Structure 1
Amino acid sequence: MQTFFPTQKQLSSAFSGCSPFPQAKPEPQLKRPSKWLAQHELYPAWSAADDAKNKAAKLSDAAVAEFEKASSKAQSKTGKIELYSAKFYAACTFGGIMACGLTHTAVTPLDLVKCRRQVDSKMYKGNFEAWGKISRAEGVRGIFTGWGPTFWGYSVQGGLKYGGYEFFKKFYADLVGEENFHKYKTAVYLTASASAEFIADVGLCPFEAVKVRMQTTIPPFAKTTVGGISYITGKEGFGGLYKGLYPLWGRQIPYTMMKFASFETIVEMIYNYLPGSKNDYGKGAQTAVSFTGGYLAGILCAIVSHPADVMVSKLNANRQPGEAFGAAMGRIYKDIGFTGLWNGLPVRIVMIGTLTGLQWMIYDYFKIFMGLPTTGGPAPDKEKEKA
């Protein structure tokens, strides 16, 4: 029956032209917006986020391109750097200067509070209270008291420490042989780092003496590094700059042994846990591993070396002229007791953890910049001893 009767649609089409009544226009169908259009029309924040993400990606790409350009230029000037060559040790020394000098100077405000609390634990209750009191009494510059000797001292120490570590690690590895090195590599790391730090502290000690006295005398006994050195040598002779050398060795050598040996071990563990090999990861990922390993190593370093760090501060601030080292140590320990040796430890954990993480990140990033492999991970094969 359907074939004999027209449908409503057919009737409307046939008589639409002669109908006396106005025809209702069909409502236009809205085109469904795409996901991209909906994001930009209905949610403007998405558009802003996308723009920010795109700009960040462009800036990142530009930074990587500039880094590669500068790295290629530097490598073309120095030539190909062979591992364990004179150029290699020079590059590692310069990387150590950057890593230690810059980072220690950056955390001078933390170091200032730590040193003053070690000398007088009741002086400040916390960092923010300390910085507030110092800035009100001495101005904002007062928060950075001691930055000059800190920069020069730790630049010298950093260069000798990192460059020396690379040298002694290779020296002791060759001395024991390849097979024994792989068996006892932690012992090699410990011995190499101790040897490097022993030498590095001789360069650090005069600047450390000036720094500690600047930070623990109110107002500071000298305004500049040169002025501080002149004042100490004028009153106590050249030996006055080195009266804290033994406790400095006692603080820094265990610290550095823990810093390098634990870093090498932690980094190796991280790469063993991650899928693939170390070479499968890019520059950013490798430096992130360096920072993580360095931060964890820094926490251990702070705990191991803290009692000696307290003694260094006390000796530089309170040791009497002509007083024997042992007598001074005994007198100070009697005053502060065992508990006093741990004054300021939480602050130092934050400071040293951050410092050590940043130092390894800067050091390894500089090595990448010079076309060298980062520190840690599997030992390189003999056939890969060229960068």
Structure 2
Amino acid sequence: MNMKPLFEGGRICEEFTAGYYGICALGGMLSAGTTHLAITPLDVLKVHMQVNPVKYNSISTCFTTLLREQGPSAFWRGRGGKFFGYGIQGACRFGLYEYFKKVYSNVLVDQNRSFIFFVSSASAEVIANVALCPFEAIKVRVQAQPHFAKGLIDGVPKLYATEGLRGFYKGLVPLWGRNLPFSMVMFSTFEHSVNFLYHNVLQRRKEDCSRAQQLGVTCLAGYAAGSVGSIISNPADNIVASLYNKKANSLKLAVKKIGFINLFTRSLPIRIMLVGPVVTLQWLFYDSIKVLSGLPTSGDVRTDIEETRTS
């Protein structure tokens, strides 16, 4: 695997410039939008299992029931919301994370690196979820309520007419509750995994590794990050599905109806199946775009002296 930069002069821009953050945002948009679009059928299964766990009590039951009652097209419902919504979220999540990480690294010089990863990802995710929320509101309804709308084009005016602007942001707080912990754990796990792999597995500096090796590190670190993040964020994911499909009218009632144990276990296997590979592919696409632009792959690789200083 020999990926050469697309530009003869090497890098299209220098790191930490406006152009650099623009490439990060573009990479995040393309990687997140395409990967989420690809796993729409699994997402449809997950939402139905969350909203109606009695009827859809397993992945196989959910699949066969939907296929029999609604046909193959049911598995692609909400694809527009996933592509555009998660594309915009990915642009904000990755682009702003890189920006905030640089800002906080300069301001919080003596802070532990994990703290910088946490606050950087949290700052980016707050903004990313404001952008995602309207698309998520339409997507979940379209997937779980076949007669609500066919997609974004007819779903947006219908939701606005019935619930107003509030309808698009009713799930913002649970969305933050799902995605903030996920993003914080995901980015921190990724950064530490990258550092661990270079120091303890390859035992070489990133600059001394081939592009194929660097992208291999990206994939391994991405899978670890996605798997850990999916477990952390599963309770809030169940609450989001319940609120948007009117199974409960408030956060407190949603938790009560779902049950404390079910918050952590309901739809968890399929969520891990979804999130682990998706996050891995997102990091691979994202870093591939950076490599093709002549930029280094992601990951904060620290020297032994720097780790001692910041620990």
Q: 1:194 aligns with which of 102, 122, 131?
A: 122
Structure 1: gaps of 5 or more residues: 1-59, 381-387
Kept in 2: contact 1:271–1:377 (CA 8 A): no
* CA deviations over 1:175-225 (Å, ceiling 9, x no partner): 123xx15xx1110000000000000000000000001111111x2411121
How many residues matched? 301
Once the two structures are superposed, the pairs formed by residues 69-218 of structure 1 within 5 Å of their partners are: 71-72=6-7, 80-177=12-109, 180-181=110-111, 184-217=112-145
Match of 1:330 in 2: 252
Q: 1:339 aligns with which of 254, 261, 264?
A: 261
Kept in 2: contact 1:232–1:241 (CA 8 A): yes
* CA deviations over 1:62-105 (Å, ceiling 9, x no partner): xx4xx53x7126x67xx741111000000000000011111111
Match of 1:349 in 2: 272
Q: Which amino acid aligns with 1:254?
A: P
Could you state the TM-score of these two structures normalised by the residue count of structure 2?
Answer: 0.92
SS at match of 2:245: helix
Structure 2: gaps of 5 or more residues: 304-311
Per the TM alignment, residue 361 of structure 1 is displaced from its structure 2 partner at its CA by 1.0
Kept in 2: contact 1:110–1:127 (CA 8 A): no
Tell me the distance in 1 between the aligned counterparts of 2:97 and 2:198: 22
SS at match of 2:204: coil
Q: Which amino acid aligns with 2:174?
A: P
SS at match of 2:150: coil
* CA deviations over 1:148-183 (Å, ceiling 9, x no partner): 101010000000110000000001011123xx15xx
Match of 2:287 in 1: 364
Match of 2:148 in 1: 221
Following TM superposition, the consecutive aligned residue runs of length 4 or more in structure 1 with deviations greater than 3 angstroms are none
Per the TM alignment, residue 227 of structure 1 is displaced from its structure 2 partner at its CA by 1.1
Per the TM alignment, residue 287 of structure 1 is displaced from its structure 2 partner at its CA by 1.0
Tell me the distance in 1 between the aligned counterparts of 2:108 and 2:267: 41
Identity fraction in percent = 38
Q: Which amino acid aligns with 2:65?
A: K
Q: 1:255 aligns with which of 178, 182, 188?
A: 182
Match of 2:307 in 1: none
Q: Which amino acid aligns with 1:249?
A: W
Per the TM alignment, residue 332 of structure 1 is displaced from its structure 2 partner at its CA by 2.1
Structure whose alpha-carbon radius of gyration is higher:
1
Call closer, same or farther: CA 1:247–1:133 in 2, change over 3 Å.
Answer: same
* Higher relative contact order (CA closer than 8 Å, sequence separation 6+): 2
Tell me the distance in 1 between the aligned counterparts of 2:293 and 2:234: 35
Per the TM alignment, residue 293 of structure 1 is displaced from its structure 2 partner at its CA by 0.6
Per the TM alignment, residue 319 of structure 1 is displaced from its structure 2 partner at its CA by 5.9
Kept in 2: contact 1:213–1:220 (CA 8 A): no
Q: Which amino acid aligns with 2:79?
A: W
1:238 matched to 2:160: no
Call closer, same or farther: CA 1:154–1:259 in 2, change over 3 Å.
Answer: same
* CA deviations over 1:87-126 (Å, ceiling 9, x no partner): 0000000000011111111111111111111111122243
Per the TM alignment, residue 128 of structure 1 is displaced from its structure 2 partner at its CA by 3.6
Tell me the distance in 2 between the aligned counterparts of 1:173 and 1:332: 39
Per the TM alignment, residue 289 of structure 1 is displaced from its structure 2 partner at its CA by 1.0
Q: Which amino acid aligns with 2:239?
A: M
SS at match of 1:373: coil
Match of 1:292 in 2: 220
